[in-house]
Amino acid sequence: MDKSSGLRCDQTIALTSSKSLKYYPAHLRRVKIFDSENNKMLVFLTNDFTLSALTIAQLYRCRWQLELFFKWIKQTLRIKSFFGTSENAVKTQIWIAISVYVLVAIIKKRLDMKASLYTILQIFSVTIFEKASFFQVVKNPELVISQNNHHNQLKLFD
């Protein structure tokens, strides 16, 4: 093994417990690599014997970046459910959410706003149908909401 690349071992293994043998009787490949950036030893199991060990390690690193990206999507964009189930519908909704997030980030930077992106997005979600200018909504959202009381709105309780 070339230890300068971080690769520590590239082995062919077989699972030995009765339960694991039942579900996956074939051999697996065990790739062990040292991640010098995080000072950690990483071990990957795969059934791909065609790619090089370094390529396997790079693929898993890329996969981890995807996992972090989807975690960011879930936490930041707040997509609760998808309006469609097709691949195109899901991609479209994710792109729209990312586009809105980026536009709000650009607005925040250009206007040198102190509020966090999360706060600005929350203000927009509450005041989206209010008849007020953008600057009024961002500077004082509570005032805009209270000024736009609907006098023709029926009240259930007095």
Which tens digit of pLDDT belongs to each residue from 76-105? 887 777 888 899 998 999 899 899 899 989
The answer to whether the Cα torsion of 77, 81, 83, 88 is positive or negative is positive
Contact 111, 134 (CB under 8 A): no
Q: Clarify whether residues 116 and 94 are in a common domain.
A: yes
Distance of alpha carbon 100 from alpha carbon 82, whole angstroms: 16
pLDDT at 57 over 90: no
Predicted pLDDT at 118:
83
The rounded radius of gyration (Å) of the Cα atoms in the chain is: 26
Q: Clarify whether residues 63 and 83 are in a common domain.
A: no
Q: Clarify whether residues 7 and 63 are in a common domain.
A: yes
Can you tell me which residue has the tokens 């989206």? 128
Q: Clarify whether residues 35 and 55 are in a common domain.
A: yes
In a domain, 64, yes or no: yes
Q: Clarify whether residues 142 and 82 are in a common domain.
A: yes
pLDDT at 39 over 80: yes
Which range marks the domain in which residue 111 is found? Answer: 78-147
Domain count, the chain: 2
Out of 27, 45, 68, a domain closes at 68
Out of 41, 68, 95, a domain closes at 68
Binned at pLDDT 50, 70 and 90, residue 153 comes out as low
Predicted pLDDT at 49:
93
Out of 21, 42, 68, a domain closes at 68
Q: Clarify whether residues 63 and 11 are in a common domain.
A: yes
Predicted pLDDT at 62:
86
| pLDDT, the chain, mean | 82
Predicted pLDDT at 154:
64
In a domain, 119, yes or no: yes
